[in-house]
Amino acid sequence: MERDQLTGEAFVRVVGRRVRPALGEPPSAEAQAAHASLLQYRTCVPKGVFIYRSHEEMQADRLRWTVEAMVARARHG
């Protein structure tokens, strides 16, 4: 069993080779670049709470927003 240093959680099996950096160590340049790339992500969904009468209405809005985001990205991309 492997125990997580940060949370104390015990794992029976760990899959993969990713290693968490030591506590207090700043992220690598590669990790910082990955985080920075996420900052450029935009959903084009207006802020707010939406109440729909049906799933079809919600899906229509979601599709419209997705297409608008794709078009905006293609124009500025």
Instruction: List, for residues 11-62, the tens digit of each pLDDT value.
Output: 888 888 777 778 888 989 999 999 888 887 777 788 999 999 999 999 999 9
Name the residue with higher pLDDT: 77 or 63. Answer: 63
What CA–CA distance (Å, rounded) separates 2 from 8? 10
DSSP 3-state percent helix, strand, coil across the chain (nearest 5): 45, 5, 50
In a domain, 46, yes or no: yes
In a domain, 73, yes or no: yes
In a domain, 6, yes or no: no
In a domain, 70, yes or no: yes
In contact, 45 and 65? CB cutoff 8 Å: yes
In a domain, 56, yes or no: yes
Q: For the chain, how many residues are written?
A: 77
In a domain, 57, yes or no: yes
Domain count, the chain: 1
In a domain, 71, yes or no: yes
Structure tokens at 43: 């959903």
Give the pLDDT of residue 77: 61
What CA–CA distance (Å, rounded) separates 64 from 38? 22
Query: Which structural domain, as residue segments, surrounds residue 76?
Result: 42-77
